[in-house]
């Protein structure tokens, strides 16, 4: 539909000219939680455009997620990073810890995608009327999209830094195949992120899909940055405890939103079946 194309076009433009420019100045760990502020507008516009009934569960859950993301951002920001050259990126990407971590994450993404397609294949006319089945597919798409979005943020940060060094320091970093491989993978993750979010919203309500998406996006952006930049020794035990508390608050907020969509929870979940 035209309105869907316009909406995703606006989202893509905001990501390109908003997040990309921001990554030139701040860490992904700080930028990712800032997106949680959009959850407030998610609740408001879900009411205005979809007629979803917003309850205290929704408001409380949204507030918890915003607070949790703020805690994670505050204690997970670490120290300022130096601008990276292509040689720095190759060194970081070739570390055994990085390879093992992102291989596991890549396998999880592949498993989620295959599982979703298997479930979608079984959603015939009768199965489509089973609310829980379709909602689970929406949740899985949100998890998949949030995971891929965290990878997109990291790849975007890497490519933006190469661009900054090339332009401002007049040292061309786009020689050899590695920088263009990063760009190719970045384009793929952007597409998969948008596809997953779009499909997730087809199966479940925005007040459930968007918070789950941002939760995985925020938490994994922190983990990805720590592993990628090898910064695990920069965080003290109190910092790690506060980060864990922030993650717990975020998860609690997601469960609050989920409770608002349960039968008897006062949410607008009953609208889901009327598509």
> Poorest-confidence range of 84-98, 100-114, 166-180, 183-197?
166-180
- The alpha carbon of 6 is separated from its chain's Cα centroid by a whole number of angstroms, namely 21
Report the mean per-residue pLDDT for the chain: 77
**pLDDT tens-digit series, residues 29-72:** 666 666 666 666 666 777 777 677 778 888 888 888 888 878 87
Per-residue pLDDT band at 78 (split at 50, 70, 90): low
CA atoms within 13 A on the CB side of 62: 22
Please tell me the predicted confidence (pLDDT) of residue 271: 43
Q: Are 272 and 208 in contact (CB under 8 A)?
A: no
**pLDDT tens-digit series, residues 216-247:** 887 888 788 888 877 777 778 888 888 888 87
pTM over 0.85: no
State how far the alpha carbon of 177 is from the alpha carbons of 93, 121, 153, 183, 191, in Å.
Answer: 14, 38, 21, 10, 21
- The span from the CA of 47 to the CA of 115, in Å, is 31
Query: Is a pLDDT exceeding 50 seen at residue 172?
Result: yes
Please tell me the predicted confidence (pLDDT) of residue 126: 47
Please tell me the predicted confidence (pLDDT) of residue 202: 86
> Poorest-confidence range of 23-32, 87-96, 176-185, 201-210?
23-32
State how far the alpha carbon of 17 is from the alpha carbons of 14, 32, 71, 196, in Å.
Answer: 5, 15, 26, 21
């Amino acid at each position: 539909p035209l309105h869907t194309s316009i909406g995703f076009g606006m989202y893509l433009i905001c990501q390109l000219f908003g997040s990309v420019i921001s990554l030139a100045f701040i860490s992904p760990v700080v930028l990712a939680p800032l997106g949680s502020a959009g959850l407030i507008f998610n609740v408001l516009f879900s009411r205005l455009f979809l007629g979803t009934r917003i309850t205290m569960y929704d408001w409380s859950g949204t507030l918890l997620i915003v607070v949790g993301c703020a805690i994670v951002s505050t204690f997970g920001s670490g120290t300022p990073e130096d601008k990276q050259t292509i040689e720095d990126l190759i060194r970081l990407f070739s570390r055994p810890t990085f390879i093992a971590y992102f291989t596991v994450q890549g396998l999880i993404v592949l498993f989620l995608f295959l599982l979703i397609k298997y479930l979608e294949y079984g959603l015939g006319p009768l199965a489509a009327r089973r609310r829980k089945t379709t909602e689970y597919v929406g949740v899985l798409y949100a998890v998949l999209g949030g995971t891929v979005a965290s990878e997109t943020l990291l790849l975007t940060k890497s490519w933006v830094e190469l661009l900054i060094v090339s332009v401002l320091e007049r040292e061309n970093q786009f020689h050899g195949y590695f920088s263009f491989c990063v760009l190719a993978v970045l384009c793929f993750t952007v597409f998969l992120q948008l596809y997953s979010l779009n499909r997730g919203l087809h199966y479940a309500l925005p007040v459930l899909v968007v918070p789950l998406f941002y939760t995985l996006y925020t938490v994994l952006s922190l983990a990805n940055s720590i592993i990628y930049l090898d910064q695990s020794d920069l965080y003290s035990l109190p910092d790690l405890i506060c980060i864990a508390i922030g993650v717990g608050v975020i998860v609690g907020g997601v469960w609050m939103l989920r409770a608002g969509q349960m039968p008897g929870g006062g949410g607008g979940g009953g609208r889901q079946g009327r598509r």
